[in-house]
Amino acid sequence: MTTDSQPTRLFLVDDQELVRAGFRMVLDAQDDMSVVGEAGDGMAAVEAIAQTRPDVVLMDIRMPRMDGVETTRRLLQDRTPDDPALKVLVLTTFDLDEYVFAALKAGASGFLLKDAGPAELLAAIRAVHAGDAAMAPSTTRRLLERFVPDLPDEQGRQDAAAQRRAATARLDVLTDREREVLEAVGKGLTNSEIAAEFYLAEATVKTHIGRVLHKLGLRDRVQMVITAYETGLVGRPE
């Protein structure tokens, strides 16, 4: 549920009008949600979203003119601290999709299969709006295990090593405990599992996660998992 009296403002992006109509019917029936706009392709979406200023965008991956990956990138790349915290929830037909991985890299807060039921859809939207991931960190990890190893192949070893050093240097702002928590999130552990592993209260774990997000400029746990891989904290193969 939302944290104030205003409903969560939603924007639908999908090239199939029937799909948008189905989502709208489910979402507008909720007291805490309101669909404020829709678009059939990414280019139309970028312009309309600038005017409607939604809280959460439901983004199809494969669309004409501009796909969901590039649309997500454009929506999020120029956000400033004064802007509302726009969230993107990617819609896809299957989970281990390179386009989904690219969308997460572009800043999406999670993804949902298109055949998900109404209850799962509503739960995902509420989670994203609250700042949580709309999927298990372990699912993000499976994506990374499949796609991250291919990324450095396009570069020489020296360039890849330099990139790794630069990525690792990002973690210098973290305390030892914050680094441990980041690594645990990267491995797919939940807050309760992290609390048990380090003998901490769950509230303390949440505090550490909040500090990691702030210090590294990350949006959510999904971005934490990606960062844990990029910096070599967890299982990225060489």
Query: Residue 237 has what pLDDT?
Result: 42
> pLDDT tens digits for 137-179?
556 667 776 766 544 444 445 555 666 666 678 899 999 999 9
Topology agreement, domain 8-135 and domain 155-230:
yes
The span from the CA of 150 to the CA of 56, in Å, is 31
195 is written with which tokens?
């609390």
Domain ranges of the chain: 8-135, 155-230
> pLDDT tens digits for 190-208?
888 899 999 999 999 999 9
Q: How confident is the prediction along the chain (238 residues), in pLDDT tens digits per residue?
A: 444 568 999 999 999 999 899 999 999 999 999 999 999 999 999 999 989 999 999 999 888 888 899 999 999 886 655 556 789 999 888 766 778 888 888 888 888 888 888 998 998 899 888 877 666 555 666 777 676 654 444 444 555 566 666 667 889 999 999 999 999 988 878 888 899 999 999 999 999 999 999 999 887 788 888 888 888 888 654 4
The span from the CA of 160 to the CA of 154, in Å, is 9
CB-based burial, 172-210: b 16+ in 10 Å, e otherwise: eebeeebbbbbbbbbbbbbbeebbeeeebeeebbeebbe
Query: Residue 83 has what pLDDT?
Result: 58
- The CATH code for residues 155-230 is 3.40.50.2300
- The CATH code for residues 8-135 is 3.40.50.2300
> Is residue 129 within 8 Å of residue 89, measured between CB atoms?
no
Contacts (Cβ under 8 Å, ≥6 apart) of 141: 186, 187, 188, 225, 229, 234
Query: Residue 24 has what pLDDT?
Result: 94
